[in-house]
Amino acid sequence: MPAGAFHATVGGILLALLPGLAAAQGVTPQPLWEFGLVSAVAMVPDYPGADRNQLRALPLPYAIYRGRTLRAEGGGVRGRYRFTPDTELDLSFGGALPVGAGNPARKGMPNLDLLLEIGPRLMLTFARPRTDAAWSVVLPVRAVFSTDFTGIDLRGFITTPELAYADRQLAGSAWRARFAAGPMFASEGLNDYFYEVAPRFALADRPAYNSRRGYVESRATANFSRAFSESWTLFTFARLSSLHGASNEDSPLLREKINWAGGLGLAWTFRRSTETAASEE
């Protein structure tokens, strides 16, 4: 049971940080498109419930497009289909970097491959305390695929409903922030990927285990970002997860019931359009 949603090695690093990056592009009006480079570093668990954290670093290019009917920013592609001004449907993405053979709990077991997620996301805004702040409920459902670059396998599905608060001027400052909290649920196939132990991989301290679908964890995430100029943006995230009561908390691969992750990044925008973007409203 994977997911960028799952293990924060996100693209664990990048996909967790990108919402802050997109939110921090502070030029008004904003350019229609931008290209840049992101350098990010994060300390993250190998997978949900792992007892080992690793320092991950990513230097990657990024692209943002802010069209009137299509937007690509912050880890999502929006068709901007709005049922009402406060109800929007889009297409969102996630992922997670691979985990090699170094995790002691998984010794002798197959590696965890690169994970890719895609699926619809419904966003319901129910309160706007200010014009630059909003409370919303976010309801995504994603299919999750794994790949070792020789093939692609469908692993299952996840849903990660969230209660979120976004503020474009946190406490009247130049910082932007997004806070979100909610549970995660996964299909049996996804949970198999992380928590199942086939009989051929069973050891004295790692008995065979048949995973179950259902509740994975509850998590709280905070993203902060600030644009210091048109070209440079600092962004950061922190996440705390609880796996108490998880459907597979008795799996021998679930070693820790509290996981944490955190990271920061710096983005350099080196090219942008002279044409400005359509308004968000």
- Domain locations along the chain: 10-271
Q: Say which range, 23-27, 76-80, 264-268, has the weakest mean pLDDT.
A: 23-27
Answer whether residue 16 shows pLDDT above 60.
no
Average pLDDT over residues 53-76: 73
Is the distance from CB of 202 to CB of 208 less than 8 angstroms? yes
Q: How far is CA 125 from CA 19, 75, 85, 133, 188, in A?
A: 17, 19, 9, 10, 31
Q: Between residues 110 and 92, which one has the greater pLDDT?
A: 110
pLDDT of residue 58: 76
Mean pLDDT of 57-63: 80
Share of the chain above pLDDT 90, in %: 46
Main-chain phi, psi angles of 274, to 5 degrees:
-80, -20
- In whole angstroms, give the CA distance from residue 220 to residue 162: 9
Phi/psi at 8 (5° precision): -70, 10
DSSP state of 89: E
Instruction: Tell me the C-alpha distance between 163 and 166, whole Å.
Output: 10
Would the pLDDT of 23 be above 70?
Answer: no
Note the pLDDT of residue 15.
47
Across 116-140, b (16+ Cβ under 10 Å) vs e yields bbebebebebeeeeeeeebebebbb
Q: Average of pLDDT values for 215-226?
A: 94
Q: Which residue type does 262 have? A: G
Weakest mean pLDDT among 166-175, 179-188, 205-214: 166-175
Question: Predicted confidence band at 103 (pLDDT cuts at 50, 70, 90)?
Answer: confident
Q: How many angstroms separate the CA atoms of 46 and 9, rounded?
A: 7
Q: What percent of the chain has pLDDT over 70?
A: 83
CATH of 10-271, picked from 1.10.10, 3.90.960, 2.40.230, 3.40.50, is 2.40.230
* pLDDT tens-place string over residues 29-49: 678 888 888 888 888 888 899
Nearest CA among 254, 102, 272 for reference residue 193: 254
Distance CA 17, CA 239 (A): 11
Q: φ, ψ for residue 208 (rounded to 5)? A: -60, 145
H helices within the chain, ranges in order? Answer: 10-24, 188-195
Q: pLDDT: is 61 or 248 the higher one?
A: 248
Reply yes or no on whether the pLDDT at 14 is more than 60. Answer: no
Rounded Cα gap, residues 131 and 181, in angstroms:
22
Average pLDDT over residues 12-33: 55
